[in-house]
A and B are shown apart, each in its own frame.
Chain A
């Protein structure tokens, strides 16, 4: 069974100047333990998709949603707000792009960790929470947990904060992890370590991941399957290897060609826009 299945999801915003369509009916699925990437440029609709899954957009004014988001057999779009909020942070969690700004700067790490754990286990004692947090920090290769738990986020490096965010996101053993451009704000060497760590953890725990990124290289290294999104439409979908080995949609090809190569070959000459980019979805066969 799929952990997550999105069917024909449509999103539009009603503004004073008229209605703006952001998602034109996207469908995607994530199997249990699968790492799926949603790759696209800014404004393509990739980040709002994650926000809808997390239920962060539903309560906003002027938002119109249609379609289904089925998570472990339950349709998140039809769930009453209270139940939807209960899923957030326990069965579904999220890692954001900038680790330093997603942690509250005025609290030490320990109480923030306890708050996360308390979402799943409300009667957890402070001592037990601290012990559990130390275990989880050990998992993300932070050995001196005691010092880190008593620090404020600004006293720690960006890479350290990112690892804390990963530990928190996985603390309640969620079935689905949403990762929105994780590590983009970090240096490349730290980013590489962070992604390795994240991959190892989700494999160990069998967590499904929706990995949102604009960076093709990162996607290639992380995801089992990839969806390419362009202006609110999925244009190409398939196993990551297949898409990178044989990109078939004009937009996917343009994206790949536009990325300068570390092996050289000169600056790419690719138009910023083309009518071909709006061609219909191309789906690769699933690997046997």
Chain B
């Protein structure tokens, strides 16, 4: 089967006033349809650059990105935009404070001409219902919503144009832990119901363990380890992966034992 997304020898170098920063160095990987691929790393690992390249916010320095086997051009057309959507980290900034929730959701429908204009209102209501929100939130301003509700709206917006691939950029790290739990369950449910493929960018390994199909670990712009989630967490191969795991703050004895085992094996 053709992977939904393929990255081939992707490099990105930023040049600023005399400096040259290699944000991404020769990254190749395939994302299979319907999977949740976690992109894990710390700041400077290149995981955000990867997301921007996939979304076409700027072109790679070298290498190419293939969507369902076809090379994506440097300048994306509306069809390409429609195919890949994004959920951002900070729900407070992701929704325009001066536009209603309904207007923010409707934008995708208007831009891509989805449904007859007259029935878009009911589509917005359906989108809200899909993420577990009431339809009368459509007329509200973002400031009237809680952080969790705003993130649900942002998720609904990403689904509005029927994309199959969604880039989730730290979608729960700005949320409280109880809210995070609900949003993660929502993401898992939507993935199953709509057959979505997720590129889940995060630094939180505990979240990764429970939602990802496979994990790609990045360090300083390089892909250092790529493995199925179970395999990675039972037998992490790369020293950096082990270091990341050893640093996770844990709450149960069982987790502590796992962490200590990794640390002991390292020593």
> Does chain B have a CB within 8 A of A280?
no
Name A259's contact: one of B148, B206, B258 (CB within 8 Å): B206
**Are A218 and B249 in contact, with the CB atoms below 8 A?**
yes
* Closest chain B CB from A257 CB (angstroms): 8
A191: chain B residues at CB < 8 Å are 247, 249
Q: Any chain A CB within 8 A of the CB of B180?
A: yes
- B233: chain A residues at CB < 8 Å are 262-264
What chain A residues lie within 8 Å of B140 (beta carbons)?
none
- In the bound complex, what is the Cα–Cα distance between A260 and B183 (angstroms)? 12
> Closest residue to B174 on the A side, CB-wise?
A42
A187 touches B252 (CB 8 A): no
In the complex, identify which listed stretch (B6-14, B15-23, B53-61, B207-215) lies at the interface while the others stay far away.
B207-215
Chain A contacts with B in 265-279, Cβ cutoff 8 A: 265-272
Contact for A244 among B148, B204, B251, CB less than 8 A: B251
Q: Select the stretch in A14-22, A76-84, A209-217 that faces chain B.
A: A209-217
Tell me, yes or no, whether A256 is within 8 Å of chain B by CB: yes
Contacting residues, chain B, for A259 (C-beta < 8 A): 177, 206, 251
Residues of chain A in range 205-229 having any CB-CB distance to chain B below 8 Å: 214-218, 220-221
Given contact pairs A267-B181, A270-B178, A217 touches B251 in the complex (Cβ within 8 A): yes
A187–B254 contact, CB under 8 A?
no
| Residue count of chain A within 8 Å CB distance of chain B | 35
Compute how far the CA of A219 lies from the CA of B136 in the bound complex, rounded to whole angstroms.
40
- Asked whether A220 lies within 8 Å of B249 as measured between CB atoms, the reply is yes
- Whether A261 contacts B249 in the complex (CB less than 8 A), given A41-B178, A267-B184, comes out as no
**In the docked arrangement, what's the CA distance between A269 and B184, Å?**
10
Inter-chain contacts of A188 with B (CB < 8 A)? 42, 203, 244, 247-249
Find chain B residues with CB under 8 A from A244 CB.
Answer: 251-252
Contacting pair B177 A258 (CB below 8 A): yes
Q: With A and B bound together, what is the CA distance between A191 and B249 in angstroms?
A: 9
Known: A187-B42, A215-B249, A263-B258. Contact between A258 and B180, CB under 8 A?
Answer: yes
Asked if A254 CB lies within 8 Å of chain B CBs, one says yes
Q: In whole Å, how far is A197's beta carbon from the nearest beta carbon of chain B?
A: 14
Q: Which residues of A contact B230 (CB under 8 A)?
A: 264
A261 touching B211, Cβ below 8 Å: no
Q: Per DSSP, are chain A's interface residues mostly helix, strand or loop, or mixed?
A: loop
- B 173-187 binary contact with A (CB < 8 Å = 1; else 0): 000111111101100
Chain A contacts of B252 at CB under 8 A?
244, 261, 263
Assuming the contacts A187-B42, A244-B251, A269-B185, asked whether A261 and B178 have C-beta atoms less than 8 A apart, the reply is no
Task: Determine whether B43 belongs to the interface, using a CB cutoff of 8 Å to chain A.
Answer: yes
How far is it, in angstroms, between the C-alpha of A255 and the C-alpha of B259 when the chains are bound? 21
A272 touches B209 (CB 8 A): no
In the complex, which residues of chain A have a beta carbon less than 8 angstroms from the beta carbon of B181? 258, 260, 267-270
A189-B247, A220-B249, A267-B188 known; A262-B206 Cβ under 8 A: yes
**Which of B179, B211, B245, B251 counts the most chain A CB atoms within 10 A?**
B251
Q: List the A residue with the shortest CB-CB distance to B249.
A: A217
List residues of chain A with CB within 8 A of the CB of B148. Answer: 272
Contact among B43, B209, B245, B254 for A260, CB-based, below 8 A: B209
Is the CB of B205 closer than 8 A to any CB of chain A?
yes
Residues in A whose Cβ lies below 8 Å from that of B43: 158, 187
Q: Which residues of A contact B258 (CB under 8 A)?
A: 262-263
A222's nearest neighbour on chain B, judged by CB, is: B249
A259 to B184, CA, bound (A): 11
Q: Would you call B255 an interface residue if the criterion is a C-beta within 8 Å of the partner chain's C-beta atoms? A: yes
Task: Give min CB distance, A251 to chain B, whole Å.
Answer: 9
Interface string of B231-267 (1 = CB under 8 A from A): 0010000000001111111111011001100000000
Residue of B148, B206, B233, B243 with highest tally of chain A CB at under 10 A: B206
Interchain residue pairs A-B with the least CB separation, the first 3: A217-B249, A187-B42, A41-B176
14 additional A-B residue pairs with CB within 8 Å, beyond A261-B255, A267-B188: A41-B176, A158-B43, A187-B203, A214-B176, A216-B177, A217-B249, A258-B177, A261-B210, A262-B259, A264-B209, A266-B210, A267-B210, A268-B181, A270-B178
Can you name 20 A-B pairs with beta carbons within 8 Å?
A: A41-B177, A189-B244, A192-B247, A216-B249, A254-B178, A256-B251, A258-B181, A260-B209, A261-B210, A261-B250, A262-B205, A264-B210, A265-B210, A266-B210, A267-B185, A267-B188, A268-B181, A269-B185, A270-B182, A272-B148
